[in-house]
Structure 1
């Protein structure tokens, strides 16, 4: 396998190019759906046998990625999967547009096949984005979980999944209680060890498909896919109780820590910054009521101890 590039400037250039290519793909997808729905005359490029090389994404991909195996932006298997999905998507799109141009109806099953491949293609691009961000330093060096740089991209991916599947997703903001006192009493080295241990504790007690971010000194964000607000409240309250009961044996000391948790639903109607503001506000309510609590935010807001 060819080694991945380590130069950050090259990785950043790849990421910027990918961002522009994704935007171009979104524009093509919108135009394709308009042509299909409004029965507009398709372009010659979309009807060509090599249509996958003529769209703006294809022009970028085949010139800057596929044709340069000596400086890959991802593993060969990932690039091959993207190429295959992109080609298949255009093949189906060409078939649908040709039927429409011939005055024939478009079978629902054929359009469903197109949307499935298009969704798969978008998912692969998201994974590539995440891989590039990880190489740029989107992973917290102390705890090994994602850092704040990765939050927007991860949550954008989840919002897209919520819109596509109509499955819920919840977000949790966790702030360790009185963490400053630990640093004061035991020093920063032990405080860092405790942060690392708490991140591992979260990973051990959450599901494999949940995502953990460290977004501040002692602040963590948890993304909980396929989880509605009620389920999230119960899940996070179990986590709260387990954390409070867990003794951390670190460098000859036994430490205990609690956390205040805020929980909100990840709703596509809100911008990501608005979701982060709401979930932090819920956490502050839990903190203001003495800490070691869970505040579930609904509609306006409602404090709910999930243990009740």
Structure 2
């Protein structure tokens, strides 16, 4: 009987080519990715920071947990600190020094919101200036956009601000007879405060890595800024020192906030000057940060 041969099945040509290509790829050397520092901030850096947004969120949650871990009152401390400071300032400056133009209750309601804004400003500067040194191990071992660390360090101060500002809004709602449309400027005041704080904080964060003396300079500098900022007092609009005081990035926001709370007329000129100083400070802070960034892993 003749032998019947089995049919020969041919594979498609495309499949054979893909198998050969796969086999060739197995013997190719792995692609090498070289990470090089850049001299200036570009769109690519912002794209990378958006890609690493989960890391920023994780570091912020970590700082908040460390801040309030094993505490008795937890986030209530965010309210007690400006509340106690405002109360003492009302007695000392408002009563004994006679800075209160009206009643002590009105003076307290003017100082308390200004103290909350100032606490946000000083807390962000302190947290960002020490953030790189506190996360030195991450800088040495893992690659990620370095701006993530100072940005994530603002998570705890922002949470404190939200807790304290919610109580301040409740105070103003129940004690103020009429809320003006000018209160809508308060979010812009907060934004101006964040710009000023991050501008100063980024410069100090980079400089603290190189010169550890700045860890001692920061508390002293913040204390000096507090006394030259009208948190506890009001500077007249017609004062001759007004143009020079506006060079303080927090002078315009605090002055405008106090005028809104008191129902007094205010000028946008000091705020515009302070905002321009804040924007310049932020640009300078980013410049200093990116220039020193290439040395972080070596000297931190």
Task: Tell me the TM-score normalized by structure 2.
Answer: 0.26
Would you tell me which structure has more strand in proportion to its own residues? 1
Greater relative contact order (Cα 8 A, min sep 6): structure 1 or 2? 2
**Higher Cα Rg: structure 1 or 2?**
2
Task: Tell me the TM-score normalized by structure 1.
Answer: 0.25
Would you tell me which structure has more helix in proportion to its own residues? 2
